[in-house]
Structure 1
Amino acid sequence: MSPAPQWPEPLAPSVRERLDAVLAEVPGHRRTTFVLRVARWWDDLVSGLAPYPDPAAVAGRLLELAATAYRDRDDELHLLDERRSLEPDWFQRPEVVGYAAYAERLAPQGTGLAGVAERVGHLRDLGVRYLHLMPLLQPRPAPNDGGYAVADYRQVRADLGTMEDLRALTRTLRGEGISLCLDLVLNHVAREHAWARAARAGDERYRAYFHVYPDRTVPDEYERTLPEVFPDFAPGSFTWDEELEGWVWTTFNGYQWDLAWDNPDVFCEMADVVLFLANQGVEVLRLDAIAFIWKRMGTICQNEPEVHQLTQALRAVARIAAPSLIFKAEAIVGPNEVVHYLGQGRHHGRVSDLAYHNSLMVQIWSMLATRDARLATHALGRFPQVPTTTAWITYLRCHDDIGWAIDDADARAVQADGAAHRGFLSDYYSGEFPGSPAQGLVFQHNPATGDRRISGSAASLVGLGTALAGDDPSAVDSAVARLLLGYTIVYGYGGVPVLWSGDEVAQLNDDAWAAVPEHADDNRWAHRPRLDWQRVLTARADAASAEGRVYAGLRHLARVRAGLPHLHASVPAELVATTDPGVFAVLRRHPVGPLLELYNVTEQPREVPAWWVRELGLSADSAVDALNGYPPNLTEDGAIWLSTYQPVWLVRP
């Protein structure tokens, strides 16, 4: 008979006694499971806490928090934990499609979280299995950075409902096979948060939760190397606070106080918040601003090694108490940095499970503007491999602006000038470039660097608004084709493709974006419109309309994708240079055979030679286009013929 599992040896006897007390009323089989999980994740937990002077002591504190959360976890969530432990790749599967929205803009007006549940049928119709609702925890009063200045992690915004409403929503979604993702802002809290209020009241314990300096000496040293995130809105990285009687670190806005993650008390507080949200039925946490949490003099204070160590420890705590919870890193950084958020080296597969593939979004828009795939093929092709247990979040648009993250070295590799190309993209998508149909808005123009980011809905950026205004059916056709091509690339790249709310019916920019006073200075609200339900009904009823074609196209993509094992996230995407710069190609090698994705990024027909296809393991005259179930169109000499903005997914029949 096997001996009963025991607590790890390094655990102090006093910690063991407290753990036993917490779990005293837990059924025996569940107590055994908890002890086994602690044994499994102990090393990850302690090594992740290495930035602190006494990692084992901090680990003991965290295990008490985890045991309490485990004890209080609902039976239904314990069952979900068991299921996900048997299906750890659930989020990597090709049938998983995501959707992102603001809750109040997805639900019928005034219905809050209860109204989001009314949209479940719509989401399932699109194949959605993952729903990301933008920040809905209680923020400070406006301005609040779109909800990212959190005043209370344990309360839902009053206009959306209560924490019980959130639990009811997660139960409804779970019953429909949809996992809820929420934002957890790690780097900072609102000035009105209880911790900040206590600090302002003179509590030294809570003052140590923040980076506070009596004068400008240290802040000035840090700012020698710190970039400004919002140079227009909030220049500088420190703010003087009269009540605090000090300069407090404020990376984003003066009302968002950076947390001092070098203080283990902060780590324990945030771990407890993670476990609290997991017990509400949240299945994915978007770790917002994670790149900024560790500060080091002489650096830009982003992507420091301790960020990945602490994420590993946070993940270990979650795996012990609620293993169905996964992490998504919000790190919009370069290729060589972003892969670390999915785990490289000693953190391989031990940090976040998901990360944003911001570069894919940027390169899709670049291809559509230039009608040239060479830069995208080179830039995306140099991404290091990520752990096979993780997945990219891929997307065409999101809630944020588009920053033209074009690396100068990548541009030079294809005989282009990086700065000039970034300027061209800003001109093109703001409609300033001659002949551009795009209707984007310039966001945060920085005259010193020339940086001009772009706001705008996907449909407006592909020129649908211009085409409709000009009553030009041909231009409408081209705009719809560009929009669907962009999303086909997103759905075919692997990982979790995420639809931004409104894109499914080709919604245009919200012309009234500035009507809400707190939005008036932030044109990103132009591409955050309320979901136009009448437009959804039109899309369903009129298949020939622009919105109908986009809606049907996206539903079809989800169905096709679900049937292709090649699109499991563990299968890497290989970027392959084609013989034609107007064709973008992605190859995915799977034991059932290769999937070759071809995308004509131009309005002119293109050809792909048969010999080139054969070299990649497929025969053009015997392959099938999975997107329509038929053989591809071939020219007289056997080349694959691609029409205007046509995507083709070639597989063996």
Structure 2
Amino acid sequence: MNASTDDMSIRELLHKRLCEHLAVIYPDQDGETLAHRLIQMMRLHDQCQTPIAHKNLWDQTDILVITYGNTIRRRSQHPLKTLHHFLKTHFTMLINSVHILPFFPYSSDDGFAVIDYKQVDPYLGDWNDILRISTDFHLMADLVINHCSAEHQWFRNFQENVSPGKDYFFCVNPNENLSGVVRPRTTPLLRAVSNGEETCAVWCTFGHDQIDLNFRNPEVLLEMVDIIRLYLDMGVRIFRLDAVAFLWKKIGTSCINLEETHEIVRLLRTLIEHADPNAVIITETNIPNRENLSYFGNANEAHCIYNFSLPPLLLNTLVSGSCFHLKNWLMSMPPAQNGTTYLNFIASHDGIGLRPVEGLLSDEEQEGLIQAMENFGGMISWRALDDGSRKPYEINISLFDAMRGTTSGEDGWQLERFICAHAIMLALEGIPAFYIHSLVGTTNDYERVLEHGHNRAINRRQWREEELNQELANPLSHHHIVFNRLRRLIQVRRDQPAFHPNATQFTLHLGDQVFAFWRQSLDRRQSIFCINNISDEEQCITLSSINLIGTDNWKDLIGDEVLEDMLGCVTLAPYQTMWISNRW
């Protein structure tokens, strides 16, 4: 059947855009032929849709949970089936999106050293399990784009000097000056290997079992696009581009955030949104704040970027009792354009990164935060500097344990401090993402650290479903209390237009012990004043200081208290949050 004229024009425009991207990435290649191959690989010659620029693909009901495929386990059942059952049992009408961390066969790094991008780890389940989860939740999956496992067939072929793979990896002369290369690890950057004819040094940003792919070879890009097409077919709607900032290598540079890397993100965005205009790209770039923001592009790169500065800044706020730095950071953050937004999180499968607060917290303040976390049972992971020294890279600790106390030591406010942190996250501009262990109040897992030999395992516990269900059903268990307190906040948030990810946000100035901001719905009908006591002492706030409009009726959505005296004041208990709204 002949394609319609409109379809032809869409494909022609798509082909033109791809050629423009490819001219930047591969100026010496035949862009016309490459563009045609990309269109064929994504099957856009048959079905090509028109994305709508600056369209918000989310609203206040969008909330994400982050989990490994085997975080919840049941005897004699594939973990993905168990996870699906657990999500449907506990999170229906709360969470509508799920990020399942790499669910592929892997050799190390808890899934991020991928052996086969096109298979589900048989231990976890199969593609049918993934499809079933994607029918009930928006599914987010990792595109581990920077590197693959040393056990991947591509790398095996590289060592045998056969295709595909013999030219898929980045080889360098070990005598090159690589001192300016930014590293997230302390392991050596290069690994000596034989490719069948000679010994060469391959690039390993994250470790010698994770070999960086060579995107200078367009065949590598085509392989990744083929993988993207498969994931779309398997129900993936949200693509997390893992470690994408390190993608392009150029000797003599930092090899991070290079222009070719940004152009590849733009190209992938073009392909994905023409295949599915409702699909979303999220870039995972654990780097200083200004660099992170650059991955929005001009609303033509990532739809969402991780708000990496939020976890360490919010943690520092709650353990120091001062929101000075958090408030200054919030004032400096540009509102996301329509069609883009922030992904807000305060805990994840990784640690709490310290690079995103470079230039925001002083070395002394970072050291105070680190010392407090070590006092609460946390561990520190390091990165290498170009002078051969090392610097703290991230704090490894469960968020529940991170809230045990302040820089003065442990106290009795752990639960309230923990809930306050999530109330702030839920109210900020952007889409909130809960690490599943935070939703159920999981504590530090030292046995797993000993078993796996790396610090990040401290926050990657695997629960038996029966045991966790018992804890969630026990009113005396802190797991039950945490889950139900957070569930209540989530339910309230989902009903408020002023909490739309792109709703207006302004920072309020109520002192350093009260972190406050104002949200207004896109139609300007609802205002919510988010008032958070981030100290261990009561705070009194005069209502006139936040300029409540006297002709409106105001209510705290969390405490259900109607505020009648506009000239009066409210007293916030330590770590109490109020969401004061004129619409309920």
- Same fold per superposition (TM over 0.5): yes
Deviation at 1:384, TM superposition (A): 2.9
Is contact 1:627–1:649 with CA below 8 Å preserved after alignment? yes
Task: Give CA-to-partner distance per residue, 1:612-639, whole Å, 9 cap, x none.
Answer: 211xx6459942212233235979x623
What is the CA RMSD across the aligned residues, in angstroms? Answer: 2.9
Q: Which residue of 2 aligns with 1:373?
A: 323
Aligned residue in 2 for 1:429 = 373
Query: Which residue, out of 532, 535, 538, partners 1:605?
Result: 538
SS class of match (1:254): coil
Aligned to 2:19, which of 23, 42, 46?
Answer: 46
Deviations 1:36-89 (A, max 9, x none): 643554444332222212333321111111227967xxxxxx9xx89x979953
TM-score, with length taken from structure 2: 0.90
Aligned to 1:402: 352
| Displacement of 1:120 | 2.9
8 Å contact from structure 2 (residues 184, 393) kept in 1: no
Give the C-alpha shift of residue 555 in structure 1. Answer: 1.1
**Residues 632, 303 of structure 1: CA spacing in aligned structure 2 closer, same or farther, 3 A cutoff?**
farther
Equivalent position amino acid for 1:600 in 2: N
- The reply to whether residue 120 of structure 1 matches residue 120 of structure 2 is no
For residue 98 of structure 1, what is the aligned residue in structure 2? Answer: 64
Q: Which amino acid aligns with 2:363?
A: A
Pick aligned residue for 2:426 from 480, 491, 494 = 491
Task: Check 1:39–1:489 CA distance in 2 against 1; reply closer, same or farther (3 A cut).
Answer: farther
Q: What TM-score do you get using the length of structure 1 for normalisation?
A: 0.81
Residue 634 and residue 371 in structure 1: after superposition, are their counterparts in 2 closer, same or farther (change >3 A)?
Answer: farther
1:192-241 alpha-carbon deviations (Å, 9 max, x no partner): 2222222211137733221113x423xx32x220133221xx2x211101
Counterpart secondary structure, 2:122: coil
- Which of 49, 52, 57 is matched with 2:33 structurally? 57
Describe how 1:173-252 pairs up with structure 2 within 5 A. Answer: 174=135, 176=136, 178-203=137-162, 206-213=165-172, 215-217=173-175, 220-221=176-177, 223-231=178-186, 234=187, 236-243=188-195, 245-252=199-206
Pick closer, same or farther for the CA change 1:255–1:492 going to 2, 3 Å: same
Could you tell me which residue of structure 1 aligns to residue 122 of structure 2? 158
Return the letter of the residue paired with 1:157: D
Aligned 8 A contact 2:246 2:256 in 1: yes
State the 1:319 CA deviation: 1.9
Does the 8 Å CA contact 2:286/2:356 hold for their aligned counterparts?
no
What whole-Å deviation, never above 9, does each CA across 1:416-444 have from its counterpart, x for those lacking one?
Answer: xx11111111001111xxxxxx3322333
Contact preservation (8 Å) 1:66, 1:321:
yes
Distance 1:621 1:132 in 2: 40
Cα pair distance change 1:425/1:155, threshold 3 Å: same
SS across alignment from 2:334: coil
The runs of 5 or more residues in structure 1 that have no matched partner are 1-23, 72-77, 412-417, 432-437, 465-469
Are 2:216 and 1:266 equivalent residues in the alignment?
Answer: no
Is the 2:514–2:534 Cα contact (8 Å) retained in structure 1? yes
Q: Counterpart of 1:45 in structure 2: which amino acid?
A: L
Which letter maps to 1:354?
A: C
Q: Distance in 1 between matches of 2:208 and 2:7?
A: 42
Aligned mates of 2:53, 2:200 — CA distance in 1:
51
**Structure 2 partner of 1:646:** 576
Shift of 1:528: 0.9
Task: State the alpha-carbon separation in 2 of the partners of residues 36 and 168 from structure 1.
Answer: 36
Q: Which runs of 5+ in 2 are unaligned?
A: none
Closer, same or farther: CA 502–255 of 1 in aligned 2, 3 Å = closer
CA distance in 2, matches of 1:190, 1:33: 43
Structure 2 counterparts to residues 19-30 of structure 1, below 5 A: none
Change (3 A) 1:59 1:407: same
In the alignment, is the contact (CA less than 8 A) between 1:113 and 1:161 conserved in 2? Answer: yes
Per-residue deviation at 1:128? 0.7
Of 108-117 and 56-65, more deviation after overlay is shown by 108-117
More helix by share: 1
SS of corresponding position for 2:344: strand
Report sequence identity in percent. 21
The one-letter amino acid paired with 2:241 is: L
1:535–1:547 CA contact under 8 A, matched in 2? no
Distance in 1 (alpha carbons) for counterparts of 2:266 and 2:132: 30
Contact preservation (8 Å) 1:126, 1:555: no
The letter of the residue matching 1:456 is: I
Q: Does structure 1 residue 327 correspond to structure 2 residue 274? A: no
Tell me the distance in 2 between the aligned counterparts of 1:350 and 1:527: 34
**Secondary structure of 1:453's aligned partner:** strand
Q: More deviation in 298-307 or 319-328?
A: 319-328
Contact 2:286 2:353 in 1 (8 A): no
1:292-317 deviation per Cα after TM superposition (whole angstroms, max 9, x unaligned): 11122332111112222111111111
Distance in 2 between the 1:440 and 1:69 partners?
52
The answer (yes or no) to whether the contact 2:154–2:164 under 8 Å persists in 1 is no
Letter of the 2:481 partner, please give it: R
Per the TM alignment, residue 577 of structure 1 is displaced from its structure 2 partner at its CA by: 2.9
